Amino acid sequence: MFLSPQGAFDAASYACTSTGGGTFTLHATGTATGPYPGTFVEDITVGAAGIPNPPDITSTLSSFHSTFTITSAAGTVTGTKDLAAGGGGFAWCAGSFGAFDAPALTYSATINTGGASYTDSGTAFARDAEMPNNGVAIFQPFNETFSTSNGVVPVVPAAPTSVDQCKNGGWKNYPQFKNQGECVAYVQRPKR
């Protein structure tokens, strides 16, 4: 899954320290492109470590978590993003302002399309602003990209619930059955 949502924050809350640390939450809405073009909604929580040694101006991204939903004519995608293990980045929290650059995120998603469900995972990045070396914040619209995918995998229930799930080789998705007949018999058997 590769897409690049872009949007704006329409709600935010801040719990900042005097050194640029703390946490802030953002609610983003916007447009998604890629295989699931449409709209997206995302709730993000960012942690900033603050400035460890003033006058150092770099505050490290200490945590990142988001939940997202993409609504598209091609299907609905829901999932989460988190800071990758050992991932770095920039985050700053001050008063009613927060900025972040999260270049190392992981995501996990469920895709519902065409009456079937799939899972996907991979890497992503997100940013709202970046702080160049001169310490002046450059504000950008919120943007993110799902960079790599580990592959879209069908979600198969533990057992079939309809005869159609057994047909056309579907019985092979259920290792407990040796053939289509066993699968169909299971579905048609009265359940207790």
Query: Are 143 and 48 in a shared domain?
Result: yes
Query: Are 103 and 32 in a shared domain?
Result: yes
Query: Are 174 and 139 in a shared domain?
Result: no
Specify the pLDDT at position 156.
75
Query: Are 150 and 161 in a shared domain?
Result: no
Q: Is residue 1 part of a domain?
A: no
Q: Beta-strand (E) ranges in 3-150?
A: 6-16, 22-32, 38-48, 61-72, 75-83, 90-94, 97-113, 116-130, 138-149
Specify the pLDDT at position 132.
46
What's the number of domains the chain is made of? Answer: 2
Query: 143 is written with which tokens?
Result: 């943007």
Query: Are 105 and 11 in a shared domain?
Result: yes
pLDDT of 80-139, one tens digit each? 999 999 888 989 888 887 889 899 999 999 999 887 889 999 999 998 865 444 555 555
